[in-house]
């Protein structure tokens, strides 16, 4: 029996079954194994009365068949209710998994695994010794990754919690500690134009052609005046060029262990006219005799491949794979080639490997490959109030040696900011038109800008 200050309660149940007809409403108490039918109705609501406020109940809405029976239990709509009991409170979201933090110059990049279970709605990140004492970095994060401009260097601890739709956070937080490297005064920046320098790195099945790099012409497989004959393993039928080739850049020596951002300007293309060379695909109408399942194919059933059937239609689009390899010592072992992702790498020595693939019928050109390695050592930032008129020009308090990397976003308001022009001395910003949907007389958006360079 409930205590003296508690009374039985009534609960209104509703369900979303769209079919017309009779619905049976059933009840089962927590720990019970059977269902009790409360009644039947033609509508989509039913009042369950006389419920103990501190007990949990499960209710079900089941469609009634023409013979008076109920549909299978897996077709019922069920709900669990405990009007005033703690056990009726929805479960809290679990702690996020896969939380990791990495530094990219003046920014930190956060990532975490996608939530499971359907309870987590958003995520929140804090920085500090503990979650309770930490400072909020960002909230209402629905997806990974997230980038944040750090405020101070040194060891920092970050905490990530999952948040449900009621605003409740997970009991446990995912925690990561990272040492943020200061943007010091040691500046290293270098641009290597591989095409302009003659493609001096090691090459396999590629050759220099008028300042560009292209796949080599295949040697004659048979009848050539060379010994031994070249191998055609892995070469597609009718191929005229090697289907794959690699180029490895020279080794870049930073002179010490460096944190540098590696960027590429790379182009890959088929010949401009898109046509196959004359005779790229030639096959006699009769061709060589072949067998199928041990039986000779009758004469006259051999196929014929016309060159025109290949014209202007690449069998395989040109493909390129970029890998990076680093070493922490001036002459020691390498770490091994890994897929390249634009960002900051820590190394003493660095090299790049480019693998290009084609259809074998036409050569593939790499007209350009420019590798830029630089370490940002200066960071400027500030806030500016903007209006709906002309673009805003922000003059840097101190000019950069080269055009910096600039990011900008609105504070406290959704919208976009376009970076129009960047020079070593200033940046031109233009908020999106949707930002000024409100009255400009009462609304003045604030843009936070950040410039990172040397």
Among 180, 199, 222, residue at a domain's last position: 180
Instruction: Verify that 171 and 155 share a domain, yes or no.
Output: yes
What is the pTM (predicted TM-score) of this model? 0.41
> Is 423 in contact with 403 (CB distance < 8 Å)?
yes
Q: Dihedral angle at the C-alpha atoms of 99, 103, 108, 111, nearest 10 degrees?
A: -20
Structural domain span for residue 40? 9-88
**Does a structural domain hold residue 291?**
no
The Cα–Cα gap between 216 and 220 comes to: 12
Instruction: Verify that 232 and 360 share a domain, yes or no.
Output: yes
Of 77-91, 192-206, 259-273, 344-358, where does mean pLDDT reach its minimum?
Answer: 77-91
User: With bands split at pLDDT 50, 70 and 90, how would you rate the model's confidence at 18?
Assistant: low
pLDDT at 312: 36
Instruction: Verify that 23 and 165 share a domain, yes or no.
Output: no
Average pLDDT, the chain: 76
Of residues 142 and 222, more confidently modeled:
142
Burial class (CB within 10 angstroms; exposed 0-12, middle 13-18, buried 19+) of 108: buried
> Is 316 in contact with 357 (CB distance < 8 Å)?
yes
Find tokens 């077709």 and name the residue: 75
Look up residue 61 and give its two tokens. 């809405």
Instruction: Verify that 397 and 423 share a domain, yes or no.
Output: yes
Burial class (CB within 10 angstroms; exposed 0-12, middle 13-18, buried 19+) of 225: exposed
Task: Determine the average pLDDT of the residues in 146-165.
Answer: 84
pLDDT at 405: 80
Q: Which residues of 281-305 are buried (b: 16+ CB within 10 A; e: fewer)?
A: beeeeeeeeeeeeeeeeeeeeeeee
Instruction: Verify that 66 and 194 share a domain, yes or no.
Output: no
> Is 430 in contact with 420 (CB distance < 8 Å)?
yes
Q: Which is nearest to 219 in space by CA: 239, 194, 247, 202?
A: 239
**Does a structural domain hold residue 292?**
no
| Alpha helices for 226-330 (secondary structure H) | none
The Cα–Cα gap between 26 and 436 comes to: 55
Among 126, 145, 180, residue at a domain's last position: 180
Instruction: Verify that 368 and 393 share a domain, yes or no.
Output: no
Q: What is the DSSP letter of 346?
A: E
pLDDT at 411 over 80: no
Containing 348, the helix (H) or strand (E) segment is strand 343-357
pLDDT at 183 over 70: no
Instruction: Verify that 316 and 423 share a domain, yes or no.
Output: no
User: With bands split at pLDDT 50, 70 and 90, how would you rate the model's confidence at 437?
Assistant: low
Task: Determine the average pLDDT of the residues in 37-65.
Answer: 84
Instruction: Verify that 133 and 39 share a domain, yes or no.
Output: no
* pLDDT tens-digit readout, 172-181: 899 999 888 7
The Cα–Cα gap between 406 and 420 comes to: 11
Find tokens 């400072």 and name the residue: 135
* pLDDT tens-digit readout, 273-325: 545 544 444 443 444 444 444 455 444 443 334 333 333 344 556 788 899 99
Q: What is the DSSP letter of 326?
A: E
């Amino acid at each position: 029996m409930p205590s003296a200050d508690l009374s039985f309660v009534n609960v209104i149940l509703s369900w979303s079954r769209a079919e017309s007809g009779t619905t049976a409403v059933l009840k089962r108490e927590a720990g019970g194994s059977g269902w009790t039918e409360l009644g039947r109705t033609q509508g989509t609501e039913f009042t369950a009365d006389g419920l103990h406020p501190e007990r949990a109940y499960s209710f079900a809405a089941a469609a009634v068949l023409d013979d008076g029976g109920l549909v299978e239990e897996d077709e019922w709509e069920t709900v669990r209710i405990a009007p005033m009991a703690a056990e009726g409170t929805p479960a809290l979201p679990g702690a996020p998994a896969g939380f990791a933090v990495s530094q990219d110059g003046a920014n930190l990049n956060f990532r975490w695994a996608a939530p499971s279970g359907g309870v987590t709605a958003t995520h929140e990140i804090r920085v500090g010794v503990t979650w309770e004492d930490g400072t909020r970095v960002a909230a209402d994060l629905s997806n990974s990754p997230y980038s944040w401009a750090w405020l101070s260097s040194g060891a920092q601890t970050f905490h990530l919690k999952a948040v449900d739709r009621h605003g409740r956070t997970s009991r446990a937080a995912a925690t990561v500690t990272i040492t943020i490297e200061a943007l010091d005064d040691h500046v290293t920046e270098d641009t290597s134009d591989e095409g302009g320098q003659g493609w001096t790195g090691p090459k396999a099945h590629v050759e220099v052609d008028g300042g560009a790099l292209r796949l080599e012409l295949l040697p004659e497989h048979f009848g050539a005046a060379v010994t031994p004959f070249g191998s055609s393993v892995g070469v597609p039928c009718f191929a005229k060029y090697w289907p794959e080739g690699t180029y490895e850049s020279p080794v870049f020596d930073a002179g010490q262990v460096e944190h540098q951002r590696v960027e590429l300007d790379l182009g890959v293309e088929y010949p401009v006219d898109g046509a196959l060379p004359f005779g790229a695909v030639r096959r006699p109408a009769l061709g060589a005799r072949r067998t199928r399942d041990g039986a000779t194919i009758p004469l006259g059933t051999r196929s014929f491949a016309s060159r025109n059937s290949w014209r202007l239609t690449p069998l395989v689009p040109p493909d390129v794979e970029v890998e990076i390899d680093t070493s922490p010592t001036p002459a020691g072992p390498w770490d091994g080639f890994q897929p390249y992702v634009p960002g900051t790498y820590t190394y003493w020595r660095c090299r790049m490997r480019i693998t290009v693939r084609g259809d074998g019928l036409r050569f593939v050109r790499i007209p350009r490959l420019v590798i830029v390695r630089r370490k940002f050592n200066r960071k400027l930032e500030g806030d500016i109030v903007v209006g709906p008129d002309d673009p805003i020009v922000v003059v840097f308090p101190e000019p950069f040696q080269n055009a910096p990397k600039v990011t900008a976003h609105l504070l406290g308001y959704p919208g976009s900011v376009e970076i129009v022009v960047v020079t070593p001395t200033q940046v031109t910003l233009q908020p999106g038109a949707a930002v000024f949907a409100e009255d400009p007389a009462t609304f003045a958006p604030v843009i936070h800008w950040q410039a990172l360079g040397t």
